[in-house]
Every structure is written in structure tokens, then in C-alpha cells.
Structure 1
């Protein structure tokens, strides 16, 4: 509970600081004038992109889930699970609260914990794989462009790339190697026992191991459905292309059109690589600072702060607002 409160405070405080910084450096009237002058069509397009992003998130989760679990109104449940993930992922460091919150919601709707964990792990691996491929493509075609224009860019980009590659390696190892998972679980439980958090670690280990066996069994079955996994990868690639296009919409809303959408997508991918390494909800601080450093190549300095504000509202705070509508609506049959 304390960590949830802390993370919520960080998000609210960061939003307040961002808004206050703009108001105090540009005055409130300047803020209103700037926001009123933007092209509303491109803001509408950005909102449609976010809706498409959330819809694709739901579709991807749905097609993976139905391999092993098909129930009435599963698609509508998948929308709820996806938006719960968006909400809690936005409020926690490294988006670490997304999968646990989704797991809890899925078990509330009758999906066994072992199966739910497998579904979420496979989806996570697909997401990280697509992101890694995206990063390799962007590094291959656009790295030199940004390297020549941004100081120390190579260090931030390579560190973020290595960090995300390690994450996918650990996730795959955890999913396919039952022995490693058992050893890790054993170490965690007995470590928690020593600091008086978990009692009877052996008993707890036996009960959790049953779910782990189910987790690995279901993960293998889902992974064997190669066509479904390929379709999920393609949809994920489209989903994140849409999301990475949000800064371009903001750019066009200010009346600019000299930079290509492909260059700005590449800029957003590099920014995401950097943000993913920061252990704060939504990559707070790194998101705004990274946007300032990278996107100053496209925006005049006087419009950078309004652009950051619009971009964060559209791509981050919208996930909190929309996700909250689903996060606090519980299943009627839940205890």
C-alpha cells in the first residue's frame, strides 16, 4: 500500500512540476494562447492513435488468451485486462505493476493463476522481442543522424539497448527453464523467511511450485502456436508504430511539416530506450528531459515545453485516466 501511495504521489507531483515549470517560465496566459493555437485536427489524430493503441493491446492479449482459455465475452474482458495493465503500468517503476495487476484481474474472472501468468509472460516476451527488433532497425538506419547532432547520444542509446536485451533474455530463461525458475523461487522464499516476511517457506514453496508447473506447461503450449505468436508480433509492431507516431502528431499540431514521420518515430524509439532504464513511474524526469534533448532537433526552443506538455498528456496521462475507468470496476462475483 505504501509503495502504491508513493508511486501515485510521484506521478501527481511530476505532473504538477511540469505544469508549474511551464506556467512560471512562460506565464499562464502564454500557455493558454499556445494550446489554443495548435491544430486541433492533429490532436484528434493523436487521440485516435491512442485509442488504436489500447484496442490493439486488447486484441493481442485476447488472441493469446484464447489459445488456452475461451469464455463468453472474452474480448470485452481482454479490454479490461489491457486497460488495467495500462493504469498500473503507468503508476509503477519500469511498469512493473502492470502484469501483477492483470494477473489479479484475470484470476478474479476465473482464469487460473498458472495460465494467466503464462499468457502475460508470453505477451511480455513478444513485446520485448518486437521492441528489440524495432531498436535494431532504428539503430541501423538512424543512429548516425542522432549521434552527429546530440552529445553523448551513443552512451544513452547503447546502455538502454543492452538493458532491454537483458530483460528479454531473463524473461525467456524464466519461461523455458523450469530448473532455473525453481532455484530462483527457492532463493527468494528462504531469503524472505530470514527477514521474517514469509513463514514456512517449504510449505509455501510446494504450493507455488504447483502453479509454476502449470505456468511452464501453458507457456510451452502457447509458444507452440507459432501462427498466433507471429500474428501477435505483427500486431505489436503496428501497435507501437502508432504509439511512436504521437510526437509527430504533436509536431504537426504546431504547424511544422519539414521533418519526416520516420525520423520522429526513430526519435521516439530512442527516447523510449532511455526512459525504460529509469526506475520511476512513466520514466519521470527522463521522459521530459529526454524529449527536450532529442526533440529540440525538430521544435523551436520556445515551443519545446508546450510540446512536452501535450506529448505527456496524450501518451502517458491519458493511460492513467482511461485505465482508471477500468481499474476500479470489480467483478461482481469477486470476494
Structure 2
């Protein structure tokens, strides 16, 4: 882990502590401690296990997309550590921009060819964004009145998150199905940077974007012929998100808030994901806590219990990923490409 990443992690931890300190400024600490002692440990453990299952489903998505290729990952440690690393770098970079590059480095360390790894990660990303968007649309269709009743005050933030998701998915789909037009459009826009940035630096960015577009398109041609993989990966991504959404429900049960409807809670969590996607602060810090407080205060009347629930939910869905990411970086992967080459040489020698 680089020194810059260590500092970023420490800064985000300090910011997170500051946010909770601000939220607790009017909270009676004795009451908070009493609420903590009453937590239902069974449901708390279920909440943790649910988040771990979410990470596991995400790892399976990568395994499926790489299956049958010469650089397929077979060692479970190599596969499981990728989502944890993504969680860490998503948590410490604005707009979660560091997760993709960090995953690519982790895949390369495991022996996956960099071009293929980059393309597979892009496809994984578009599947994820699509399922998030589909979940949102389904929630709006079947629970429109409920959404408008509870989320009217956050409508601008929800619409902003929706627009960002649509734009991202639209751009990637255009690369897949309208490659030449999209490539020319994006690179034309990138060339406008030469008016504001020195030409060598701007050209480096243009070349990098062109390579990513080309790589993603080449991989998409292969994956278009492997619809079964895409369908399985989409189903696993749905399960990944479902487990993630359920963490807050089990957190509420751990706090003995038993009168909540699971569907309503799932819809609220879907809205929180939409809202936090527009916050440039790493991990949506501040926005996530504000959304939780605004949406779940209708179920939790006690301010101390609300703060406790917010802390538990945020730790499981955010800080747990950071801790697991640090573990994943501390223990190096097995380079499967090197191992395969070594094994092949031994066979040839014999």
C-alpha cells in the first residue's frame, strides 16, 4: 500500500469520525451506551454475514467473466481479495474513482493480462450500473407513491444520481454497439483539452482513453457471443446488491426496530445508493449519513438509537470494506500466469 493511499485512508477515517462526532453532538452518551448494550447480537452477526455475502457474489462475477480464458483465475484467495481492494480504494477516492485501477493492478498481480483485465472490469462495471438503475426503476414503478411520500425532500439528489447512472451506462453501451461514432465523439471532445492543457499531457490522456475504448470494444465483441456469462454475471450482481441492501434491514432488527417492512427498507437503501453517487467526497461521506438519518428517522424515534444504527450500518457497508482491503493488500496473491508457465516448462522438460 503506497504512502499516498495510507494517508488517504487515515484522512477518510478522521473525516468519518468527525461526521459521527457532529451527529452525536446532541446525543446523550449514557443513553447511547444503554442502547448499545441491548443490541440483538444474532441480527448483528447476520448483518455482517450479509455484507460478506455481497463481497462473495461480486468475486463470483469476476470469476464468471474470466472463466474459460487462458488467464482464468482459479485460486480463491486471488478472487476474493479483488472486491475488498475495490472497496478500500472506492472508499478513499472521490466518486469511487480509485476502485477500477486498484482492481486492475490486483488482477495483473494474479496473472491476468492487463488488456483483458481492463475490459472485463469495464463490463463488470456496466453490469453493476445497469442493475443499480433497474432496481431504481422497479422501485419507482411499484412504489412510486411511497417514494414520493418519503423522498420528496431528497428529490433533487435522487434525480442527480439517476442522471449520472444513465449517462455512464449510455456511454459504455454506445461503445459496445456504436463503436466508431462514440470513439470519434469522445476523442473529439478530448482534443478540446489541448486548448486548456499543454499538448503533450493532453495527448497522453487522449491516447489512454483511446486505448481503453478500443480494449473495451474488443472484449465486448467476445462477450456478445457469451450471453450466458453476461446473464449469470447479471444475476450474481443482483444478488450482490440485494445482500448489500439488506444490511440496513438487519441492522434495524438488531436495534429491535421490528415494525419495519423489508420492501420499504430495500427501497430506501436503493435511494441512498442513488443519492451518494453524486457526492464527490470519497465514500459519499456526509451524504450517506445524512441520507440515513433523513430516511430512517421515521422508524427510529430515539435520537441515540438512530445514531447507533447509522454507525453500525456505516461500519458494515463502508469501514468493513476498508479493513478487508488493507488485509487483501497485506497478503499478496499467487501469480497464476507464472505458475502455469512454470508447470508447462516442467512438463516439456520431462
Which TM-score bucket, shorter chain as reference?
0.7 to 0.9
Residue aligning to 2:16: 15
The 2-side partners of 1:61 and 1:80 are apart by 11
3-state SS of paired residue (1:53): helix
The alignment of Structure 1 onto Structure 2 pairs a total of residues equal to: 333
Partner of 1:239: 240
Q: Which residue of 2 aligns with 1:137?
A: 138
User: Which stretch shows the higher mean deviation, 258-267 or 182-191?
Assistant: 182-191
Aligned partner of 1:173 in structure 2 is: 174
Q: Which of 315, 318, 323 is 2:325 aligned to?
A: 323
**Other-structure match for 2:258:** 257
In the superposition, relative to structure 1, how do residues 95 and 202 fare at CA in structure 2: closer, same or farther (>3 Å)? closer
Q: TM-score, normalised by structure 2?
A: 0.84
Distance (Å, rounded) in 1 between the aligned partners of 2:147 and 2:187:
42
- How far does residue 211 in structure 1 lie from its aligned partner after superposition? 6.8
- Report the equivalent of 2:308: 306
Tell me the secondary structure at the aligned position of residue 25 of structure 1: coil
Deviation at 1:212, TM superposition (A): 5.3
2:41 corresponding residue in structure 1: 40
Q: Cα deviation per residue 1:35-54 (whole Å; 9 max; x = unaligned)?
A: 12111111000011011011
Instruction: Note the alpha carbon deviations across 1:152-172, whole angstroms, 9 max, x for none.
Output: 343333332222111111222
Distance 1:181 1:111, change over 3 A: farther
| CA distance in 2 between partners of 1:75 and 1:221 (Å) | 25
Moved more, 119-128 or 76-85: 76-85
The answer to whether the 8 Å contact 2:157/2:275 transfers is yes
Residue ranges of structure 2 left out of the alignment (5+ in a row):
338-350
For residue 123 of structure 1, what is the aligned residue in structure 2?
124
Q: Which residue of 2 aligns with 1:248?
A: 249
Q: How has the CA–CA distance of structure 1 residues 26 and 213 changed in structure 2, closer, same or farther, with 3 Å as cutoff? A: closer
CA distance in 2, matches of 1:323, 1:264: 28
The CA deviation string for residues 107-158 of structure 1, in whole angstroms up to 9 with x for no partner, is 2333222111110011111111111110011111223113224443433333
Q: Secondary structure at the match of 1:152?
A: helix
Provide the rounded CA distance (Å) in 2 between the counterparts of 1:51 and 1:274.
Answer: 23
TM normalised by structure 1 equals: 0.88
The CA distance in 1 between the partners of 2:32 and 2:100, in whole Å, is: 37
8 A contact 2:175–2:217 mirrored in 1: no
Give the alignment's Cα RMSD to 1 decimal: 3.0
Question: Is the alpha carbon distance of 1:72 and 1:256 closer, same or farther for their aligned partners in structure 2, counting shifts above 3 Å?
Answer: closer
The corresponding residue for 1:103 is: 104
Q: 1:266-317, CA deviations, whole angstroms, 9 ceiling, x for partnerless residues?
A: 1110111111111111111110111111111211142211111111011111
Q: 1:184 aligns with which of 183, 186, 201?
A: 186
Alpha carbons 1:189, 1:198 under 8 Å: kept: no
Residue 51 of structure 2 corresponds to residue 50 of structure 1: yes
**Whole-angstrom CA distance in 2 between matches of 1:69 and 1:50:** 31
Q: Identify if the C-alpha distance between structure 1 residues 121 and 250 changes in structure 2 by more than 3 Å, giving closer, same or farther.
A: same
